[in-house]
Structure 1
Amino acid sequence: MRDISTGPHATPLALDLALTIRHDGHGGVADDLGRPEALTAWVREHAEALPDTAGFEADAAALTEVREVRAAVRALFAHAVRPGDPSPADAHRLLPVSEAVRRLNAAAALTPTVPVLTWDDGATPLVRQEARTPVPASDLLKATLARAAVGFLASDDRERLRACHAPRCVRYFLKDHPRQEWCKPSCGNRARVARHHERHRAEAVGD
């Protein structure tokens, strides 16, 4: 398992999971893991960070389990960004911190794994978590995601985690420099436009 990818724009696996909840472009919230087929596609997109993905096919039970892990991750992300506000996507229905921690620990313990190093010529060394005994693919997936979340939350990157509060955005992001306020430039542009309009409305009311 590779929790934090290499490269200047790498994203931790736990954050990638959290970002499957996003703004839908029309004022609402979309779920990129709304169907088993969507989870299958997401897993295959993260093949380098997840074990045994080649033949993985998600079913309804696996989808429910992964979404339960995601709910725990997002609850702990909300806790991590305090005293800042959490993502507005699910701020009104977050799991209690103790339940989120219990859920991650239970998922992480589903299957015993060992780290296995691979290092191909010309490539970056990778460490994958592989099961010591045969287990259901869905259990291995759930455990891997939970362990990635535990590793991320216990790392220094947790201190850089922020919720983006640009208009309509519901994303979490890692703050890369001290003045960064938004997850991406387009969110910064929307926020500045919104501030501009709000300032003009206030001036109009005051006239």
Structure 2
Amino acid sequence: MPVPDDDATIGYNLLMIGEVPREPPRRCGSAEGVGDVVTVEGGLVLVTAQGGPLAVEFANTIYPHRRVLQDHLRDGTAAAQWLQDRAGAFRPALAAGGAGGLDDAGLARLVGLRDAVRDALHAVVTDDQIPGPARAVINTASALSPRWPVLDCGASIEIVCGTGTDPVAEAMASIAQSAVHVLGGPLRPLVRICPAEGCPMFFVKDHPRRAWCTPACGNRNRVARHHARRQVESDPVA
């Protein structure tokens, strides 16, 4: 099934967290091999090549490597590379070199959006209300890419994407719109934070047996439990 042209069926709303829609996600196809488009009630959740919603992957730009936290947004160059590596996951797609002009102010906005998305995801995981400041940042970023409804020649409604002058802002809008639908749609009850010690990553529990953000965290946990059992078995009985 083809992907809707220019996301023509999207009807984005700002983040109004309330009753979770009952309609399940529906997979619609892929965009140039970079991430599937999963439809949810009221819009799209973009899924990256890594298999999770774009907003969740963005939140996970803080990640552990050899038990040391790393940051894909540590500087402008690294952040631009992260965006460019996912160019096809944004709507509109990020042009080649489109993130090259990321300055300090743009990096600060990007990091601020990540902080807001992480705060909102954490609130969902802990069954708390999403903080107002985080909601405001997400909603503001969602509006950075202009979209408006028009009537086409067949009297059908079409959503038009405006041509912006800031590709990074448009990428941020795609991330924020993904966050809106994760936090306010049917994926919301499936959001989890990895239970592995020291791991700050979120994931969507897309399988009943999934318990970790990545297989690596699950493997480390199994090894640690095995090591702990061996220690107990080797200790003399008091």
TM-score range, shorter chain: 0.7 to 0.9
Counterpart AA for 1:29: L
Asked whether the 8 Å contact 1:167–1:194 carries over to 2, the reply is: no
Corresponding residue for residue 23 of structure 1: 64
TM-score, scaled relative to structure 2: 0.65
Deviation digits for residues 97-132 of structure 1 (CA, Å, limit 9, x no counterpart): 1111111112222342259xxxxxxxxxxxxx9742
Asked whether the 8 Å contact 2:145–2:161 carries over to 1, the reply is: yes
Query: How far is 1:23 from its partner?
Result: 0.4
Unaligned runs of 5+ in 1: 85-95, 116-128
Corresponding residue for residue 176 of structure 1: 206
Corresponding residue for residue 109 of structure 1: 143
Query: How far is 1:155 from its partner?
Result: 2.0
Corresponding residue for residue 71 of structure 1: 115
Asked whether the 8 Å contact 1:23–1:169 carries over to 2, the reply is: yes
| Match status 1:4 vs 2:46 | yes
Alignment partners' CA distance in 1, 2:197 and 2:236: 22
Corresponding residue for residue 124 of structure 1: none
Alignment partners' CA distance in 1, 2:163 and 2:232: 65
Query: How far is 1:133 from its partner?
Result: 5.0
1:35 to 75, 86, 103: 75
Q: How many matched pairs? A: 181
Corresponding residue for residue 81 of structure 1: 125
User: Compared with structure 1, are the counterparts of its residues 62 and 194 closer, same or farther at alpha carbon in structure 2 (3 Å cutoff)?
Assistant: same
Counterpart AA for 1:76: A
Secondary structure, aligned partner of 2:89: coil
Asked whether the 8 Å contact 1:13–1:145 carries over to 2, the reply is: yes
* 1:79-158 → structure 2 map (5 Å cutoff): 79-82=123-126, 97-114=131-148, 131-158=161-188
User: Compared with structure 1, are the counterparts of its residues 46 and 68 closer, same or farther at alpha carbon in structure 2 (3 Å cutoff)?
Assistant: same
Asked whether the 8 Å contact 2:146–2:164 carries over to 1, the reply is: no
* 1:182-197 → structure 2 map (5 Å cutoff): 182-197=212-227
Secondary structure, aligned partner of 2:165: coil
TM-score, scaled relative to structure 1: 0.74
Name the structure with the higher helix share. Answer: 1
